[in-house]
Structure 1
Amino acid sequence: MINIGPHISIAKGFTAAGKDAVSIGANTFQFFTRNPRGGNAKAIDPKDADGLRQIMEDHDFGPLLAHAPYTLNMASATEATRDFAERAFREDLERLDQLPCHLYNFHPGSHVGQGPEKGIELILDILNRNMKPDQKTIVLLEAMSGKGSEVGRDFEQLRAIIDGVRLKDKIGVCIDTCHIYSAGYDIVNDLDGVIAEFDRIVGLPYLRAMHLNDSLTPFNSHKDRHEKIGFGSIGVDTFIAIVKHPLLRDKPFFLETPQEKFADYAKEIELLQNV
């Protein structure tokens, strides 16, 4: 069975989020570890975590994915911004050890004019200072669309970060379909070629999760504009090819598509589960 689910708010708790996922036919979900614009995180209730574990067991869930706040920028030129990023990263890893979720995705950040090499150096300083051999969580670098001074705009930059991380067994990648299509990887006309390029540069064992998002903007636009599945420039046929692909179908898939109502995710899940 394909493991696919939406992004779900945990404002009502993790058990409630698990129930919400089940209600729309999902067998996994993604959540923000804290407010996406930053701030402190709520303490985890052990009973709430146990309730989620039970739901996952009862409904044969795949891996969950935690998402760092958007304000987490390890590559910033501003020390205060990097300090927040390091504190949030360290706290999030500690919190995830209390949950049945061991994948943690973050945007590598923006170098803000310092250059990608300096940005990667700053990212590695924080990763290597805070990742521990006994942590349960795999840290995922999200592939980005390449707007502005984003780090992670191509497979080579992702590989450079992986090369500099000391704990290779604790690092991985999350591919966002909208991002890489906008970054110039033509998954519509050459999906096999893009997969082969990723494998050659990064290595498929590092691919641990995928965000499935159509793109509101055209190929190679370097924009990050998500669209519903089948309503953008990528198109439904490509998403069917992705979830059916023998090298991808065992990965957990997460929807970040713009829906008017939470229940609307059920249509996308049903479409992709039944191919």
Structure 2
Amino acid sequence: MLRIGNHLPSSKGYLAMGKHAVKLGATTFAFFTRNPRGGTAKPIDEADIQAFLAYAREHDIDHLVAHAPYTMNLCSAKPDIREFGLGMLQDDMKRMEYTPNQYYNFHPGSHTGQGVEAGIVQIADALNQTLTPEQHTTVLLETMAGKGSEIGRSFEELREILDRVTLSEKMGVCLDTCHIWDAGYDIVSDLDGILTQFDQVIGLNRLRAVHLNDSMNPCGAHKDRHQRLGQGCIGLEALIRVVNHPALKNLPFILETPNEDEGYAAEIALMREHAQ
């Protein structure tokens, strides 16, 4: 069965998110661990968590893909911003243990002029200061479009981070279709070849989730502008091939398209209609 959902507002709690997902026809969803543009997180409500876990079992909701805030930059040239990000990451790992065996996705960061290699070292150092053998959360590096000084614009850059993380078994990758398209990976004409390349560089066993988005830009634009499914330069046919690909079809798919609830429900239904 295709597991597909979208980003949901986390302000009302886990149970509310679960009910929201079911209303949209979803069996997975993503949420920000805190304000995506800030650093403050709501206190954990353990009763709400327990109610959500019971509800999720009843409604076959699985593979949540939590998302770190956009303000978390583990490789900024400014030490105070790196420390701010490290604090959020460490706090989020504690919070994620309330919903064990789920995914925590983050943008690797922007090196802001230091250079890619320096940024990679700093990202890995932050992860090495945070991950523990006891944790039940898998941390996912997101593939990026390559705008500005973003790290993660290539499979090779992500592999370099993974190679430097001591507890690499706690790590995985989230593939964003808009981002890799904008980074120059032609998933329209050569999806098999791109996934073979991913397997050779990173390993498909590391791929744990997909952000399913169309793009407003041509391949290789390095701009990161998401579009609704079938209304962008990737197109519906190619995105259907993504959800049905044998290497991907059992992963959770998260929509990050510019939509409201009605649009998300329609996209979820559309992709279910074409899922094999």
Q: TM-score, with normalisation over the residues of structure 2? A: 0.98
Q: How does 1:242-253 map to 2 (within 5 A)?
A: 242-253=242-253
Instruction: Give the corresponding residue for 1:145.
Output: 145
Q: In the alignment, does 2:18 pair up with 1:31?
A: no
Deviation at 1:62, TM superposition (A): 2.5
Cα distance in 2 between the residues matched to 1:101 and 1:38: 26
Q: In the alignment, does 2:270 pair up with 1:271?
A: yes
Deviation at 1:100, TM superposition (A): 4.7
Deviation at 1:274, TM superposition (A): 2.1
- The answer (yes or no) to whether the contact 1:124–1:164 under 8 Å persists in 2 is yes
Instruction: Give the corresponding residue for 1:108.
Output: 108
Deviation at 1:69, TM superposition (A): 0.3
Deviation at 1:38, TM superposition (A): 1.8
Instruction: Give the corresponding residue for 1:216.
Output: 216
Cα distance in 2 between the residues matched to 1:132 and 1:233: 41
Instruction: Give the corresponding residue for 1:123.
Output: 123
Instruction: Give the corresponding residue for 2:12.
Output: 12
Deviation at 1:197, TM superposition (A): 0.3
- The answer (yes or no) to whether the contact 2:33–2:69 under 8 Å persists in 1 is yes
Q: In the alignment, does 2:79 pair up with 1:90?
A: no
Give CA-to-partner distance per residue, 1:74-120, whole Å, 9 cap, x none: 01010110011000000000000012562000000000111100000
Please state whether the residue corresponding to 1:185 is helix, strand or coil: coil
Please state whether the residue corresponding to 1:208 is helix, strand or coil: strand
Instruction: Give the corresponding residue for 1:60.
Output: 60
Instruction: Give the corresponding residue for 2:157.
Output: 157
Q: What is the letter of the counterpart of residue 41 of structure 2?
A: A
Cα distance in 2 between the residues matched to 1:21 and 1:263: 12
Please state whether the residue corresponding to 1:274 is helix, strand or coil: helix
Cα distance in 1 between the residues matched to 2:71 and 2:133: 26
Please state whether the residue corresponding to 1:219 is helix, strand or coil: coil
Instruction: Give the corresponding residue for 2:236.
Output: 236
Deviation at 1:233, TM superposition (A): 0.2
- The answer (yes or no) to whether the contact 1:53–1:100 under 8 Å persists in 2 is no
Over the residues paired in the alignment, what is the CA RMSD in angstroms? 0.8
Instruction: Give the corresponding residue for 2:191.
Output: 191
Structure 2 unpaired stretches of 5+ = none
- The answer (yes or no) to whether the contact 2:101–2:138 under 8 Å persists in 1 is no
Q: In the alignment, does 2:3 pair up with 1:3?
A: yes
Deviation at 1:221, TM superposition (A): 0.2
Deviation at 1:52, TM superposition (A): 1.4
Q: Percent identity?
A: 53
Instruction: Give the corresponding residue for 2:181.
Output: 181
> How many aligned positions are there?
274
Comparing 57-66 and 202-211, the one that deviates more: 57-66
Give CA-to-partner distance per residue, 1:206-264, whole Å, 9 cap, x none: 001000010011111001100000000000001110111111001100000001x2222
- The answer (yes or no) to whether the contact 1:49–1:100 under 8 Å persists in 2 is no
Deviation at 1:192, TM superposition (A): 0.3
Instruction: Give the corresponding residue for 1:69.
Output: 69
- The answer (yes or no) to whether the contact 1:4–1:26 under 8 Å persists in 2 is yes
Cα distance in 2 between the residues matched to 1:143 and 1:91: 23
Deviation at 1:61, TM superposition (A): 1.7
Please state whether the residue corresponding to 2:87 is helix, strand or coil: helix
Q: What is the letter of the counterpart of residue 105 of structure 1?
A: N
Cα distance in 1 between the residues matched to 2:54 and 2:238: 34
Structure 1 unpaired stretches of 5+ = none
Deviation at 1:36, TM superposition (A): 0.4
Cα distance in 1 between the residues matched to 2:84 and 2:261: 31
Cα distance in 2 between the residues matched to 1:111 and 1:32: 23
